[in-house]
Structure 1
Amino acid sequence: MTELEKTVLDAALHVFSRYGVKRTSMGDLCEEAGVSRQTLYNRFRNKDDILRGLIGRYTELALEEIAEEMPNATDLAAQLDLIFDRMVVRGYDTMQAMPNAQDFIAGANAVSQEALQCSAGRFSSVIYDVLMPYEASITRNGLSVDTLADFIQRSAKAAGMHALDRDHFLAQLRTLKQLSLTAALGPVPDAIHKED
């Protein structure tokens, strides 16, 4: 992704969060990004392209941060916490701060299913990688690493969409982590319960 594309996408997120996707024009995006219409249209044909680009950009940023910080996550619990934070918690917090979050979410869901599926697959792959060292235990528990990784990714995403509030969302993620640790490690020592 070029610096120009990043600039346009960052500007788009800012404008979409202020006015919503529907009420934002391509002219608004040009003005916020400081680019001409021709420059914008050379890369993005319409707002749908921009929404797909936003999903890709923020997936990439989250995955880069996970990769950078993963060496500091010393056990599976810390690795899952890191993944959850970058995969869903930050996005949840961003959406909660947006006055037009529902419009943004509806716009992204309407036009970006392929981009959303690609993003989900990339996060599932990261979860798969952290679960692989525990494959024998996961298999003994009647699961596959692939299935568990997919379940964790989808459940974490769904928890954010259906949470009553942030505390409820974080409680759902703690439960998901506990279930994941039990599947991968067997019963979890009390010290893990007291971390959160």
Structure 2
Amino acid sequence: MKNRDAHIIDAAVRLFLRFGVKRTSMNDIAEEAGLSRQTLYKAFANKGAVLQATIRSLADKVVLDIEAGLEKAEGLGARLDLIFKHIVIVHYDFLHSSPNAEDIIAGVNASSQEELEAAARRNIALIERVLEPYSREIGDSGLTVPQYADFIQRTATAAKHAAKSRKHLLALLAALRVSVLKVTGAG
């Protein structure tokens, strides 16, 4: 990603958190980034494109953070904790740091939804890698590794949206962690 694009995305994130997606305009983003509107429009055709790039940037960071941590994490429990931290808890905290969390979620349009799905597929691939050593145990449960990885990622993500509080989110993730450890025989 070009430095200019990263600078624009950083500005957009600040505005999306402060005002929400719907109330943030391209003019606001240009001002926040200290750029002319013309320069902003050369980089991104519209606010939807900025939102897509923002989601992609955050998803890239998740993958990098997980991959960096996996090298140090020992055991499946520690690896699950790392995955849940980066695909769920950090984003939960990020969204809930904004008084406009609902507007941010509501501001995700169809093209942005595609970016979220692409991020989910990348997260699923990471979870598959972590689960691969337990493929026999997972198979004994009547599941495939890809199927179980998909279930884990989507269940963890659903918990992020369904949790009544951060404490409730952590309890939901703890229950998911225990179930994964039981299925894999690692716990």
TM-score computed with the length of structure 1 as normaliser? 0.92
In the alignment, what sits opposite 2:166? Answer: 166
In the alignment, what sits opposite 1:193? Answer: none
In the alignment, what sits opposite 2:32? Answer: 32
Once the two structures are TM-superposed, the CA of residue 143 in structure 1 deviates from its matched residue by: 0.9
Matches within 5 A, 1:1-12: 1-12=1-12
Read off the aligned partner of 2:39 and give its amino acid letter.
T
Matches within 5 A, 1:1-196: 1-185=1-185, 188=187
Q: Kindly tell me: are residues 133 and 78 of structure 1, through their superposed partners in 2, closer, same or farther at Cα, counting changes over 3 Å?
A: same
CA deviations on 1:21-45 (whole Å, 9 max, x unpaired) are: 1111111101111111111111211
RMSD: 1.1
Read off the aligned partner of 1:11 and give its amino acid letter.
A
Secondary structure of 2:74 counterpart: coil
What residue ranges of structure 1 are gaps of 5+ in the alignment? Answer: 189-196
TM-score computed with the length of structure 2 as normaliser? 0.97
Question: For residues 37 and 137 of structure 2, what CA distance do their matches in structure 1 show?
Answer: 56
Question: For residues 111 and 130 of structure 1, what CA distance do their matches in structure 2 show?
Answer: 29
Once the two structures are TM-superposed, the CA of residue 182 in structure 1 deviates from its matched residue by: 1.1
Question: For residues 72 and 109 of structure 2, what CA distance do their matches in structure 1 show?
Answer: 34
Q: Percent identity?
A: 44
Question: For residues 109 and 152 of structure 2, what CA distance do their matches in structure 1 show?
Answer: 20
Once the two structures are TM-superposed, the CA of residue 108 in structure 1 deviates from its matched residue by: 1.6
Residue-pair matches, total: 187
Secondary structure of 1:45 counterpart: coil
Is contact 2:15-2:29 (8 Å) kept? yes
Secondary structure of 1:116 counterpart: helix
Q: Kindly tell me: are residues 167 and 109 of structure 1, through their superposed partners in 2, closer, same or farther at Cα, counting changes over 3 Å?
A: farther
Tell me which moved more, 61-70 or 126-135.
Answer: 61-70
Once the two structures are TM-superposed, the CA of residue 185 in structure 1 deviates from its matched residue by: 1.5
What residue ranges of structure 2 are gaps of 5+ in the alignment? Answer: none
Is contact 2:48-2:109 (8 Å) kept? no
Question: For residues 117 and 177 of structure 1, what CA distance do their matches in structure 2 show?
Answer: 23
Read off the aligned partner of 1:75 and give its amino acid letter.
G
Secondary structure of 2:87 counterpart: helix
Q: Kindly tell me: are residues 109 and 158 of structure 1, through their superposed partners in 2, closer, same or farther at Cα, counting changes over 3 Å?
A: farther
Read off the aligned partner of 2:170 and give its amino acid letter.
L
CA deviations on 1:106-132 (whole Å, 9 max, x unpaired) are: 112554121111010000000000000
